[in-house]
Amino acid sequence: MKNAISDALVITKRQLLQLARVPEVLLFSTIQPVMFVLLFRYVFGGSISTGQPGGYVQLLMPGIFVQTVAFTLAATASGLAEDMGKGLIDRFRSLPISRSALVVGRTLGDSLLNIVVLAVMGTAGYVVGWRPTSGLPKVLLAFLFLLLFGYALSWTGIFAGLSARDARVVQNMSFMITFPMTFLSNAFAPTTGMPRALQYVAEWNPVSTMVAACRELFGVKNQFGVTAGSFPSTHPLVMSLIYMVVIMVIFIPLSVRKYINSSK
Amino acid sequence: MKSVIAQHLVKTYRNGEVRALDDLSLDVEEGTVLSVLGPNGAGKTTTVRILATLLNPDSGQASVGGIDVIKNPEKVREIIGLSGQYAAVDETLTGWDNLVMFGRLYHLGKQASINRANELLERFSLTDSARRPIKTYSGGMRRRLDLAASLIVKPKVLFLDEPTTGLDPRGRQEMWGVIEELVKDGVTLLLTTQYLEEADQLADEIAVIDHGKVIARGTSDVLKKQVGGERLEVVVESQQIQATMEIVSKVSGNKASLDDALRQVSAPVSTGVSALIEVLRELDASGIHPLDVGLKRPSLDDVFMSLTGHVAEEGEQS
């Protein structure tokens, strides 16, 4: 057990070293969400009426946080697919290390990366006028929640990366899933303007429940359309937690098994 | 004592359509080098992956250092080193980073990992490039670093899967030097290759495999004998070819063949040097002065050709 943890930490350290050796990766993975903040805040923000004290940016930032965290799974997936393609996974599997070390270490590394990226996002948000009104404990709780969501999602990235054999393909595939998921939600625009059927999809979308939960924790009032009164709209926090647990219960064992049996 | 034993290994892919290993058995005596020689798709990599615990066979048994690879893979991993066809190291990290990381994963302490990394970098002449990312390394340097990574804890048994495939002649020569050094230290080595020359140079024993089976094994000398001993070759002036053909046929008891372009007359002989002397005497008696004459032992290429009926293909591994 002690070895299992220290093995995983060696893998986490590897990921941090990679970032230190190629700092551009970290730079671009933070520039992209900052661009989203600026674009939505100043390009679309003016034409989305919110009726929200503090304006659109109060609604936008939780959406951006969730999207940013969701997008990191593409990097997780492509990173693992690359390790796989280069035979590095084989080497790790031929070492006398704990079977879960590589995947656990990787998800921990992703969480650390998410901390950095969320800190940058939060700062960028503050600069463009984001002001949570709920007090520090709830704000910290929201960020903790975001990290947990990111942790759960990175297991789906691990599974995707181990299942695919080409890093670029799996990266594009991840985006093809995360992109519509983050936009088919309440993250950037209220769902009330969507066709009725789509509103149900959007409100039950885990991205939406996460965004709604964060808004609640930041002290912003959520808006609901036809789904007002449904479980995810009244209990976004609980619903999000349920989603995270479900994702982890499914994908942690699947990923570990996939890793152990890869190419068996 | 046998350090590596594989018995009746069978591995199929695509629901039995492809038989990668078809009842393959081999063993390696402790402290010796076995070269598994075969063309692409013969089953070399599959064999190594099973012995290195990366893959389970459909049936058959295997043990490394007396430990069953299927029942006790964790124990096997503690005593083996594996270096594959591709340099399986983290290319964004430096050579030093990689070796220290692998040291930590072998549960050497921090300082011990650093010391071992420095030692191995020195030994493989990589000290100057230790702080550069691997992606700036040449092919030969990458392979050496990869090999170094498989030697962190002085493995009892080392598996090298095509260690020189894709290297230029100089890189190959360097790699051979490194491997020969290792063998002197007494490691048991199983090496796969598609280069006949490489097997000849490095191995104590050679197992020739084709279509997932061992089709011949023995020392390189034994294999060459198996193909049919030596050939006598005589090169003469054009106008003397006919007479020479007659003499060579008579002495060897076999029909001589002719390579027109080289003006070379040759025939298999079973009596070696005495056949050579007799031919020279007869030629001299007939007033023929050969331009070149010699006994040629078959190359491993000839071995492969005669064992499999096809030439050894070189190129990308499937």
Give yes or no for A7 touching B (CB within 8 A): yes
Cut 0.90: pTM above it? no
Domain ranges of chain A: 2-261
> Which of A10, A92, A94 faces B52 most closely, judged by CB atoms?
A94
- Disruptive mutation site among B11, B46, B75, B90 for chain A (greatest number of A CBs within 10 Å): B90
Q: Are A98 and A3 in contact (CB under 8 A)?
A: yes
Collapsing DSSP to helix, strand or coil, A137 comes out as helix
- Disruptive mutation site among B86, B92, B317 for chain A (greatest number of A CBs within 10 Å): B92
Whether pLDDT at B128 is above 70: yes
Mean pLDDT lowest for which of A81-90, A120-129, A141-150, B124-133? A81-90
Whether pLDDT at B137 is above 70: yes
Under an 8 A CB cutoff, do A94 and B133 touch? no
**Nearest-CA distance from B19 to chain A in Å?**
15
Mean pLDDT of B42-53: 93
pLDDT of residue A264: 53
Of the candidates B243, B223, B238, the one whose C-alpha atom is nearest the C-alpha of residue B283 is B243
Under an 8 A CB cutoff, do A88 and B106 touch? no
Q: Are A148 and A40 in contact (CB under 8 A)?
A: no
Under an 8 A CB cutoff, do A18 and B92 touch? yes
Between CA B43 and CA B38 the distance in angstroms is 8
**Nearest-CA distance from B58 to chain A in Å?**
10
Mean pLDDT of B175-202: 89
Token pair in block for residue B125 = 């002449």
Whether pLDDT at A217 is above 70: yes
Domain ranges of chain B: 2-225, 230-296
Whether pLDDT at B310 is above 50: yes
Tokens 């049919």 correspond to B228
pLDDT of residue A223: 76
Give B-chain residues touching A91 at CB under 8 angstroms. Answer: 82, 84, 88-89, 149
> Which of B52, B86, B101 faces A14 most closely, judged by CB atoms?
B101
Token pair in block for residue A140 = 């910290």
Mean pLDDT of B99-113: 94
pLDDT of residue B268: 82
> Which of A22, A95, A264 faces B56 most closely, judged by CB atoms?
A264
Under an 8 A CB cutoff, do B55 and A264 touch? yes
Give A-chain residues touching B91 at CB under 8 angstroms. Answer: 86
Length of chain B in terms of residues written: 318
Nearest residue on chain A to B99, alpha-carbon basis: A14
**Nearest-CA distance from A254 to chain B in Å?**
18
Question: Average pLDDT of chain A?
Answer: 89
Mean pLDDT of A217-226: 82
pLDDT of residue A194: 86
For the stretch A13-55, pLDDT in tens is 999 999 998 888 888 888 988 998 998 888 887 777 666 677 8
Under an 8 A CB cutoff, do A21 and B92 touch? yes
CA distances for A26 relative to A15, A80, A113, A134, A154, angstroms: 11, 17, 8, 30, 17
pLDDT of residue A135: 92
Under an 8 A CB cutoff, do B102 and A95 touch? yes
Sequence-distant (6+) residues with CB within 8 A of B137 are: B95, B129, B145
Mean pLDDT of B1-11: 94
Tell me, what amino acid is at A124?
Answer: A
Under an 8 A CB cutoff, do A93 and B56 touch? no
For the stretch A54-80, pLDDT in tens is 788 898 999 999 999 998 899 899 999
Whether pLDDT at B317 is above 50: no
pLDDT of residue B316: 36
pLDDT of residue A230: 84
Between CA A245 and CA A243 the distance in angstroms is 6
CATH number for the segment(s) B230-296: 3.30.70.100
Give A-chain residues touching B161 at CB under 8 angstroms. Answer: none
What burial letters (b/e) apply to A108-137, b meaning 16+ CB within 10 Å? bbbbebbeebbebbbebbeebebebeeeee
Whether pLDDT at B206 is above 90: yes
Kindly indicate the confidence band of residue B318, based on its pLDDT and cuts at 50, 70 and 90: very low
C-alpha dihedral sign at B81, B84, B87, B93: negative
CATH-assigned architecture of domain B2-225: 3-Layer(aba) Sandwich (3.40)
Give yes or no for A204 touching B (CB within 8 A): no
Give yes or no for A75 touching B (CB within 8 A): no
